[in-house]
Amino acid sequence: MDDYYSFLKEKTLVTTSNSSDWIEISTPFVGLFNDTVDIYAKKEGNRIILSDDGNTFRDLELSGLEISRSPKRKEILDRILINYGVRVNNEELITEATERDFPQKKLHLISAILETADMYYLARHTVASVFREDVKSYLDEQELIYTPYFISKGSTGLEFTFDFQIAYRNTEIVIKSFNSVNKMNLPHFLFTWEDIKKVREQQTQKAIIGLAVINDIDREVSDEYLSALDNKGAQYILWSQRHNLENINKIKLVA
Protein backbone atom coordinates (compact mmCIF):
# COMPACT_ATOMS: atom_id res chain seq x y z
CA MET A 1 0.00 0.00 0.00
CA ASP A 2 2.86 2.39 0.80
CA ASP A 3 4.47 1.61 -2.55
CA TYR A 4 1.19 2.23 -4.34
CA TYR A 5 0.69 5.57 -2.59
CA SER A 6 4.26 6.59 -3.45
CA PHE A 7 3.71 5.63 -7.08
CA LEU A 8 0.50 7.67 -7.31
CA LYS A 9 2.16 10.69 -5.70
CA GLU A 10 5.29 10.53 -7.88
CA LYS A 11 3.31 10.11 -11.12
CA THR A 12 0.67 12.77 -10.42
CA LEU A 13 1.66 16.13 -11.92
CA VAL A 14 -0.12 19.43 -11.27
CA THR A 15 0.24 22.26 -13.79
CA THR A 16 -1.12 25.77 -13.23
CA SER A 17 -2.12 28.12 -16.05
CA ASN A 18 -1.42 31.83 -16.37
CA SER A 19 -4.31 32.30 -18.79
CA SER A 20 -7.17 30.64 -16.85
CA ASP A 21 -8.33 29.60 -13.39
CA TRP A 22 -8.09 25.92 -14.26
CA ILE A 23 -5.25 23.69 -13.12
CA GLU A 24 -4.34 20.45 -14.90
CA ILE A 25 -3.87 17.25 -12.88
CA SER A 26 -2.07 14.56 -14.85
CA THR A 27 -2.64 11.14 -13.28
CA PRO A 28 -0.76 7.86 -13.80
CA PHE A 29 -3.94 6.13 -14.99
CA VAL A 30 -4.01 5.13 -18.65
CA GLY A 31 -6.80 6.16 -21.02
CA LEU A 32 -8.27 4.74 -24.19
CA PHE A 33 -5.29 5.54 -26.42
CA ASN A 34 -2.66 4.57 -23.85
CA ASP A 35 -2.14 8.18 -22.79
CA THR A 36 -2.49 9.47 -19.24
CA VAL A 37 -5.86 10.45 -17.84
CA ASP A 38 -5.82 14.20 -17.18
CA ILE A 39 -8.45 16.07 -15.17
CA TYR A 40 -8.92 19.77 -14.49
CA ALA A 41 -9.85 21.64 -11.32
CA LYS A 42 -11.08 25.18 -10.64
CA LYS A 43 -12.01 26.91 -7.39
CA GLU A 44 -15.38 28.70 -7.33
CA GLY A 45 -16.10 30.08 -3.87
CA ASN A 46 -16.21 27.14 -1.48
CA ARG A 47 -16.59 24.66 -4.33
CA ILE A 48 -13.99 22.91 -6.46
CA ILE A 49 -15.16 22.05 -9.98
CA LEU A 50 -13.55 18.94 -11.49
CA SER A 51 -13.77 18.20 -15.21
CA ASP A 52 -12.31 15.91 -17.88
CA ASP A 53 -12.55 18.80 -20.41
CA GLY A 54 -14.58 16.54 -22.72
CA ASN A 55 -11.62 14.25 -23.46
CA THR A 56 -13.47 11.04 -22.59
CA PHE A 57 -16.28 11.56 -25.10
CA ARG A 58 -13.87 12.84 -27.75
CA ASP A 59 -11.73 9.71 -27.45
CA LEU A 60 -14.80 7.48 -27.72
CA GLU A 61 -15.95 9.29 -30.85
CA LEU A 62 -12.47 8.97 -32.38
CA SER A 63 -12.63 5.23 -31.68
CA GLY A 64 -15.94 5.02 -33.56
CA LEU A 65 -18.32 4.86 -30.60
CA GLU A 66 -21.22 7.32 -30.37
CA ILE A 67 -23.16 6.88 -27.17
CA SER A 68 -26.08 9.09 -28.17
CA ARG A 69 -27.14 6.75 -30.96
CA SER A 70 -27.74 3.77 -28.67
CA PRO A 71 -30.32 3.70 -25.84
CA LYS A 72 -28.46 0.74 -24.34
CA ARG A 73 -25.17 2.63 -24.28
CA LYS A 74 -26.90 5.69 -22.82
CA GLU A 75 -28.42 3.50 -20.10
CA ILE A 76 -25.03 2.04 -19.23
CA LEU A 77 -23.44 5.50 -19.16
CA ASP A 78 -26.18 6.83 -16.88
CA ARG A 79 -25.56 3.99 -14.41
CA ILE A 80 -21.84 4.73 -14.35
CA LEU A 81 -22.37 8.45 -13.76
CA ILE A 82 -25.00 7.96 -11.06
CA ASN A 83 -22.77 5.47 -9.29
CA TYR A 84 -19.93 8.02 -9.05
CA GLY A 85 -21.95 11.21 -8.67
CA VAL A 86 -20.70 12.61 -11.98
CA ARG A 87 -22.77 14.55 -14.52
CA VAL A 88 -22.40 15.45 -18.19
CA ASN A 89 -22.36 19.12 -19.25
CA ASN A 90 -21.66 19.89 -22.93
CA GLU A 91 -20.00 16.46 -23.25
CA GLU A 92 -17.72 17.13 -20.28
CA LEU A 93 -17.70 14.79 -17.28
CA ILE A 94 -18.02 17.05 -14.24
CA THR A 95 -18.30 16.72 -10.49
CA GLU A 96 -18.08 19.15 -7.60
CA ALA A 97 -16.06 18.89 -4.42
CA THR A 98 -15.09 20.76 -1.30
CA GLU A 99 -11.60 20.83 0.16
CA ARG A 100 -12.73 18.18 2.64
CA ASP A 101 -14.03 15.60 0.15
CA PHE A 102 -11.73 16.50 -2.76
CA PRO A 103 -9.73 13.21 -2.68
CA GLN A 104 -12.93 11.13 -2.81
CA LYS A 105 -14.50 13.21 -5.58
CA LYS A 106 -11.27 13.13 -7.58
CA LEU A 107 -11.22 9.34 -7.28
CA HIS A 108 -14.87 9.17 -8.36
CA LEU A 109 -14.24 11.28 -11.46
CA ILE A 110 -11.21 9.20 -12.50
CA SER A 111 -13.19 5.99 -11.96
CA ALA A 112 -16.07 7.34 -14.06
CA ILE A 113 -13.64 8.33 -16.84
CA LEU A 114 -12.04 4.87 -16.90
CA GLU A 115 -15.35 3.01 -16.88
CA THR A 116 -16.85 5.26 -19.54
CA ALA A 117 -13.78 4.79 -21.73
CA ASP A 118 -14.21 1.04 -21.37
CA MET A 119 -17.42 1.38 -23.36
CA TYR A 120 -15.13 1.52 -26.40
CA TYR A 121 -15.48 -2.23 -26.57
CA LEU A 122 -19.13 -1.77 -27.47
CA ALA A 123 -17.92 -0.42 -30.81
CA ARG A 124 -16.59 -3.87 -31.69
CA HIS A 125 -19.16 -6.02 -33.45
CA THR A 126 -17.98 -9.08 -31.53
CA VAL A 127 -18.97 -7.57 -28.20
CA ALA A 128 -22.70 -7.27 -27.54
CA SER A 129 -22.52 -5.69 -24.09
CA VAL A 130 -20.15 -4.31 -21.53
CA PHE A 131 -18.22 -7.14 -19.91
CA ARG A 132 -19.73 -6.35 -16.50
CA GLU A 133 -23.14 -7.20 -17.92
CA ASP A 134 -21.78 -10.55 -19.09
CA VAL A 135 -20.45 -11.23 -15.60
CA LYS A 136 -23.84 -10.28 -14.16
CA SER A 137 -25.52 -12.82 -16.48
CA TYR A 138 -22.99 -15.42 -15.34
CA LEU A 139 -23.86 -14.84 -11.67
CA ASP A 140 -27.58 -15.01 -12.55
CA GLU A 141 -26.97 -18.25 -14.42
CA GLN A 142 -25.41 -19.70 -11.26
CA GLU A 143 -28.50 -18.54 -9.29
CA LEU A 144 -26.44 -16.44 -6.91
CA ILE A 145 -27.72 -13.56 -4.78
CA TYR A 146 -25.39 -10.59 -5.08
CA THR A 147 -25.15 -6.83 -4.61
CA PRO A 148 -24.16 -4.89 -7.76
CA TYR A 149 -22.02 -1.75 -7.53
CA PHE A 150 -20.98 -2.61 -3.98
CA ILE A 151 -19.43 0.34 -2.11
CA SER A 152 -17.19 -0.07 0.93
CA LYS A 153 -14.95 2.30 2.89
CA GLY A 154 -11.34 1.29 3.45
CA SER A 155 -8.75 2.02 6.09
CA THR A 156 -7.67 5.12 4.15
CA GLY A 157 -11.15 6.60 4.65
CA LEU A 158 -11.90 6.48 0.92
CA GLU A 159 -14.89 4.61 -0.51
CA PHE A 160 -14.28 2.10 -3.29
CA THR A 161 -16.76 0.51 -5.67
CA PHE A 162 -16.69 -3.14 -6.70
CA ASP A 163 -18.81 -4.56 -9.49
CA PHE A 164 -20.45 -7.20 -7.29
CA GLN A 165 -20.46 -8.52 -3.75
CA ILE A 166 -21.64 -11.97 -2.67
CA ALA A 167 -22.29 -12.45 1.05
CA TYR A 168 -22.14 -15.83 2.76
CA ARG A 169 -22.43 -16.62 6.46
CA ASN A 170 -18.68 -16.48 7.17
CA THR A 171 -17.29 -15.01 3.97
CA GLU A 172 -17.79 -12.13 1.55
CA ILE A 173 -16.59 -12.07 -2.05
CA VAL A 174 -15.96 -8.72 -3.75
CA ILE A 175 -15.74 -9.02 -7.53
CA LYS A 176 -14.15 -6.79 -10.14
CA SER A 177 -14.68 -7.55 -13.83
CA PHE A 178 -11.85 -6.77 -16.26
CA ASN A 179 -12.72 -6.47 -19.92
CA SER A 180 -8.99 -5.90 -20.35
CA VAL A 181 -6.34 -6.05 -17.67
CA ASN A 182 -3.26 -3.82 -17.53
CA LYS A 183 -0.56 -2.50 -15.22
CA MET A 184 -2.83 0.20 -13.81
CA ASN A 185 -6.26 -1.34 -13.26
CA LEU A 186 -5.01 -4.57 -11.71
CA PRO A 187 -2.84 -2.92 -9.00
CA HIS A 188 -5.74 -0.55 -8.33
CA PHE A 189 -8.05 -3.51 -7.71
CA LEU A 190 -5.53 -5.20 -5.41
CA PHE A 191 -5.04 -1.95 -3.50
CA THR A 192 -8.76 -1.32 -3.05
CA TRP A 193 -9.42 -4.89 -1.95
CA GLU A 194 -6.59 -4.82 0.59
CA ASP A 195 -7.71 -1.40 1.83
CA ILE A 196 -11.28 -2.53 2.61
CA LYS A 197 -10.31 -6.03 3.75
CA LYS A 198 -9.21 -5.19 7.29
CA VAL A 199 -12.11 -2.80 7.88
CA ARG A 200 -14.77 -5.17 6.51
CA GLU A 201 -13.39 -8.13 8.43
CA GLN A 202 -13.55 -6.15 11.68
CA GLN A 203 -17.08 -4.94 10.93
CA THR A 204 -18.60 -8.21 9.71
CA GLN A 205 -16.37 -10.81 11.35
CA LYS A 206 -16.17 -12.45 7.92
CA ALA A 207 -13.27 -13.31 5.65
CA ILE A 208 -13.13 -11.01 2.59
CA ILE A 209 -12.13 -12.61 -0.71
CA GLY A 210 -11.07 -10.51 -3.68
CA LEU A 211 -12.04 -12.06 -7.02
CA ALA A 212 -11.06 -10.79 -10.49
CA VAL A 213 -13.08 -12.00 -13.48
CA ILE A 214 -10.91 -11.44 -16.56
CA ASN A 215 -11.98 -11.45 -20.20
CA ASP A 216 -9.49 -13.63 -22.10
CA ILE A 217 -11.64 -14.16 -25.20
CA ASP A 218 -9.61 -13.25 -28.32
CA ARG A 219 -6.80 -11.94 -26.13
CA GLU A 220 -4.02 -13.42 -24.05
CA VAL A 221 -3.73 -12.58 -20.38
CA SER A 222 -0.12 -12.23 -19.30
CA ASP A 223 1.09 -14.66 -16.64
CA GLU A 224 2.55 -11.73 -14.70
CA TYR A 225 -0.97 -10.45 -13.96
CA LEU A 226 -2.16 -13.86 -12.79
CA SER A 227 0.97 -14.25 -10.66
CA ALA A 228 0.33 -10.84 -9.10
CA LEU A 229 -3.15 -11.98 -8.05
CA ASP A 230 -1.76 -15.24 -6.65
CA ASN A 231 1.02 -13.45 -4.77
CA LYS A 232 -1.48 -11.09 -3.11
CA GLY A 233 -3.82 -13.93 -2.16
CA ALA A 234 -6.60 -12.82 -4.51
CA GLN A 235 -8.52 -15.19 -6.74
CA TYR A 236 -9.37 -14.99 -10.44
CA ILE A 237 -11.60 -16.56 -13.07
CA LEU A 238 -10.64 -16.45 -16.73
CA TRP A 239 -13.79 -15.91 -18.76
CA SER A 240 -13.07 -18.78 -21.15
CA GLN A 241 -12.92 -21.11 -18.14
CA ARG A 242 -15.87 -19.73 -16.17
CA HIS A 243 -17.87 -22.96 -16.45
CA ASN A 244 -15.06 -25.13 -15.11
CA LEU A 245 -16.15 -26.72 -11.85
CA GLU A 246 -13.12 -25.27 -10.06
CA ASN A 247 -14.15 -21.72 -11.01
CA ILE A 248 -17.83 -22.22 -10.22
CA ASN A 249 -16.75 -23.43 -6.80
CA LYS A 250 -14.87 -20.17 -6.26
CA ILE A 251 -18.09 -18.13 -6.37
CA LYS A 252 -20.20 -20.76 -4.62
CA LEU A 253 -17.53 -21.39 -1.97
CA VAL A 254 -17.51 -25.12 -2.50
CA ALA A 255 -14.27 -26.72 -1.33
Give the helix/strand (H/E) hosting 55: helix 55-62
Q: Are 95 and 201 in a shared domain?
A: no
Length of the chain: 255
pLDDT band, very low/low/confident/very high, at 123 (cuts 50, 70, 90): low
Instruction: Please check the confidence at residue 172 and state whether its pLDDT lies above 70.
Output: yes
pLDDT per residue as tens digits for the range 46-92: 999 999 999 999 988 887 777 877 787 888 899 999 999 999 999 99
Q: What is the CATH number of the domain that holds 210?
A: 3.40.1350.10
Q: Are 232 and 202 in a shared domain?
A: yes
pTM higher than the cut 0.85: no
Q: Are 108 and 147 in a shared domain?
A: no
Long-range pairs for 242-250: beta carbons < 8 A, 24 or more residues apart? 242/138, 242/213, 248/142, 250/211
pLDDT per residue as tens digits for the range 201-239: 999 999 999 999 999 987 889 999 999 999 999 999 999
Domain boundary among 72, 88, 123: 123
Instruction: Count CB neighbours of 49 within 10 A.
Output: 16
Q: Report whether 206 contacts 172 (CB < 8 A).
A: yes
